[in-house]
Amino acid sequence: MPGNPEPTWGFYGRTTEQRAIEEIVSSRRWFFCAISGRRRIGKTTLIQRALSAHPDIGAFYFQVPDSDERGVVQTFQDALEDSGTRPDSARRVGTFAEMAEAIGVLCRRGFVIVIDEFQYFHRKSLSPFTSFLQAEVDKLRDTTKGGLFVLGSIHTEMTAVLEDRASALFNRITHRIELGHWDFETLFEMFDTHGIVDPAHRLFLWSLFEGVPKFYRDCFEAGVLEPREQYREHTLRALFFEGTSPLRDEATNWFLRELRGRYDSLLKLLAYKGPCSHRELVAEYARAGSGDEKQLSAYLQTLIDRYRMVEKRRPVFAGDRSRKARYVITDNFLASWLHAVARNVQVARIRPVGQAISRTDESLKTQEGYGFEKMIRFLTEECSRKGVGDFPLTEIVQGYWNKPHASDIEIDLIAHNDETKTVRLGSCKRSAGAHDAAALKNFDEHMDRFFTTKEGRRFSGWNLEKTLYSPIFSNAQRRHLDDRGYLCRDLNDFARFLGRPAVSSFDITET
């Protein structure tokens, strides 16, 4: 019998967004649609996919370079020539005014214009273009042909250039789409298609790449998106440590190049230490001689508000001014790069590559611990949002801690349903065997102390679900822990909640 055909790379998820774009394009009215999302999230691919359903519509794509007016206009002219699209065969585009005029001409001919990296027009040297574009937009807004998509990866700069009252393009947008990561339902579908059914393998990949489609496409093209015994070493070697590795310069080229000043040193601190309180960051920052507390606070706020690279996490029920807040890097890939990968890519230049890969792998296991907690929170929220799973939420999932070093109370997950008066307290371990007698005793003590706090007393008299999370539990482990009064939930449970088919059991090994 012939073997199963090799899987090919498909287009996964994005059904809602694709339908929205197709409806915009087929509306027979001119449109101005802004699409925002982190780099590599699939903005351009999504538009290409949606436009492929309308082969009768011409499309013109242009990516704004990180340059001055001359460089931007020249790149636009090059794109016109390379695509064979010429608004006026007798005239070259040489200024921002002529560039905006050319866009208007193409739209009147029925073209859909796609401008990528549109946030660069927020910069002072490039911002004059928005006034010229505004003049064209105002002429086009009541017409029936063509349209304009603008794509951007820095949310606050996209918002500033399109929505600030002082912006020339204020109130001109007709549609807005925010493109996020793949949800877990889509991710599990992709994993199943490529035979990645081992929960530990899924956690490893998600801790590195979260739900970013381009990274998984890179995995597929590098031949690592397949089940194999040594999947960790093979993945790291192919993606980061070989001469043709597609991701060895990814963070530098697409994340860190946007930063100025000492933001990168602050990000490295967060990556090395994991979730940090403000007090811990101040102490570490001062020890490195990097600046004072006021400067640190300004850098933090910029990384949170402008770049969305850092998140300020608060424990459950804490107010905005809570001193218990912790700062974490929001993006799994960036955190993994700074914590484990970057330094060892450098080590591999002077030491055997096998040693560098081994060091990277060990460091990533620590990062996976943080990643697994985040994964469980997101899975719990997605299941509740979609009306599946075993715990409908009435409030977003959070953890709880009362001291920076968790010396007194630390609970990984608190989920509650006010309608049924049920609260679920969870402990996350990246190995099921780590839920041993000592860990359970520690978990019980932390829960007991939590219920004596102001936040915990609100759950007095509620149904309590003591829940343990790991990538996978064996049947024997489930029976043992269930007999002791604990629920067990693993990644196979969540995949089943989200409608994926059951998979075979795995032998559990300690890592």
pLDDT digits (tens, 9 = 90+) for 80-117: 998 887 777 557 899 999 999 999 999 999 999 999 99
Mark whether 31 and 170 lie in a shared domain.
yes
Mark whether 140 and 275 lie in a shared domain.
no
Q: How many domains does the chain have?
A: 3
- Specify if 505 maps to a domain: no
Specify the pLDDT at position 510.
41
3-state helix vs strand vs coil in the chain, percent to 5 = 50, 15, 40
Domain region containing 265? 256-330
Mark whether 226 and 136 lie in a shared domain.
no
Domain boundary pick from 264, 296, 330? 330
In order of 269, 293, 301, 303, 370, the CA distances from 289 in angstroms are 13, 11, 20, 20, 28
Specify the pLDDT at position 159.
86
Mark whether 174 and 191 lie in a shared domain.
no
Parallel/antiparallel/unpaired status of strands 398-401 and 310-313: unpaired
- Specify if 1 maps to a domain: no
Mark whether 231 and 282 lie in a shared domain.
no
pTM, two decimals, is 0.90
The residue ranges of the chain whose pLDDT is under 50 are 1-2, 507-511
Specify the pLDDT at position 260.
57
Specify the pLDDT at position 1.
40
Mark whether 53 and 170 lie in a shared domain.
yes
Mark whether 202 and 171 lie in a shared domain.
no
- Specify if 407 maps to a domain: yes
The CATH number that applies at residue 148 is 3.40.50.300
In order of 1, 193, 194, 195, 501, the CA distances from 4 in angstroms are 9, 12, 12, 12, 18
The CATH number that applies at residue 325 is 1.10.10.10
